[in-house]
């Protein structure tokens, strides 16, 4: 949402896909839903990984694909132009382990592959990848002028969204991985501002309910003039249809999704949020709710294996919660 609201702002280029640069580089990503173990990669391997990622973006043509990190219609990238640009402008930086310059070349190459021209030197890039929070300190070291916007959402709403996204792949998912990912994200939302001065945390609900006020706050934080263009999300200047897992399309910022989770969350999801993320509910001022039915009930598309895995995880979570309270 923030990436789309910043799209078209003079002097900014909102990269319309999650670049997952640290994954391409073979760094250790702890965020559970994008987990990547550390590995040494050659320049050729990094280029191959980048090519595969952008080619998949070009092939996006299903309703399922819009619910991921991309917000770009298919077949817009000149993949060969991107790879050639990196060959010419990124290889030396990569071999010299100057990752800041390599990442810059990658972002410039993405711009070049879309517009067939090199971005102006004054261009500032807006990049959103879900695992960026855990690399914020490193990013600040290699890009001293970087600024960070971290969006948090009600944990109950988020677990419903992630569960629905993963259930679209087939079975009802194992919730432990989702909770691990949420813990990672919320942890850095609290820790990073303690040692990174230019780190703004926004509640998604506040952004939706008072978009103008929050985007004025964002514009002051980024030191860019506020523009009415910041009130309607776009991707490369075209209206962004949203990435709702309910299959809805939007013509602008919509408050429709904010409370839908209340009719979609199940007792198990409520319980694992309450036992693992109660402190997040308190910290960000979200109301705690309680299940009205037993978490032992099975759910639609939940396999036998995941049924037992989820109940075991629930029991272990409760044990940990009690220990933390004692």
**Strand, helix or coil for residue 215:** helix
Confidence (pLDDT) at 253: 67
The HSE-up count of residue 255 (CA atoms within 13 Å, CB side) is 7
Confidence (pLDDT) at 67: 46
What pLDDT digit, counting tens, does each position of 315-326 carry? 999 998 888 888
Residues 71, 238: Cα–Cα separation, whole Å: 10
The HSE-up count of residue 113 (CA atoms within 13 Å, CB side) is 26
How many other CB atoms are found less than 10 A from the CB of residue 270?
19
Confidence (pLDDT) at 252: 60
What pLDDT digit, counting tens, does each position of 25-68 carry? 999 999 999 999 999 999 999 999 999 999 888 876 544 444 44
Residues 6+ apart with CB under 8 A from 77: 54, 55, 57, 58, 110, 113, 114
The HSE-up count of residue 194 (CA atoms within 13 Å, CB side) is 5
Residues with pLDDT less than 50, the chain: 62-68, 245
Confidence (pLDDT) at 241: 61
**Strand, helix or coil for residue 199:** strand
Q: Is 247 left (phi over 0), alpha (psi -120 to 50) or beta?
A: left
- What pTM was estimated for this model as a whole? 0.91
**Strand, helix or coil for residue 295:** coil
Confidence (pLDDT) at 64: 42
């Amino acid at each position: 949402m923030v990436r789309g609201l910043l799209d078209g702002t003079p002097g900014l280029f909102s990269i319309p896909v999650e670049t997952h640069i640290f994954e391409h580089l073979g760094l250790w990503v702890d965020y559970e839903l994008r987990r990547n173990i550390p590995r040494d990669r050659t320049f050729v391997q990094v280029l191959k990984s980048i090519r595969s990622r952008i080619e998949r973006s070009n092939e996006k043509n299903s309703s399922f694909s819009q619910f991921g990190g991309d917000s770009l219609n298919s077949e817009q990238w000149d993949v060969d132009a991107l790879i050639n640009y990196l060959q010419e402008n990124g290889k030396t930086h990569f071999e010299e382990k100057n990752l800041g310059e390599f990442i810059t070349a990658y972002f410039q190459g993405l711009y070049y592959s879309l517009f067939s021209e090199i971005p102006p030197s004054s261009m500032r890039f807006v990049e959103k990848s879900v695992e960026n929070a855990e690399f914020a300190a490193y990013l600040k070291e290699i890009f001293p002028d970087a600024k960070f916007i971290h969006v948090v959402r009600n944990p109950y709403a988020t677990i419903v969204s992630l569960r629905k996204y993963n259930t679209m792949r087939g079975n009802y998912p194992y919730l432990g991985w989702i909770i691990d990912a949420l813990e990672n994200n919320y942890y850095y939302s609290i820790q990073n501002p303690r040692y990174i001065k230019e780190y703004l945390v926004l509640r998604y609900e506040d952004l939706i309910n008072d978009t103008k006020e929050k985007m004025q706050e964002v514009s002051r934080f980024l030191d860019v003039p506020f523009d009415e263009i910041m009130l309607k999300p776009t991707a490369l200047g075209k209206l962004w249809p949203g990435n709702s897992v309910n299959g809805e399309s939007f013509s602008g910022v919509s408050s429709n999704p904010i409370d839908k989770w209340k009719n979609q969350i199940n007792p198990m999801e409520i319980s694992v949020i309450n036992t693992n993320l109660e402190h997040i509910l308190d910290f960000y001022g979200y109301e705690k709710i309680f299940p009205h039915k037993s978490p032992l009930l099975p759910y639609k598309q939940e396999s036998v294996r995941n049924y037992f895995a989820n109940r075991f995880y629930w029991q272990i979570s409760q044990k940990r919660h009690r220990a933390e309270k004692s």
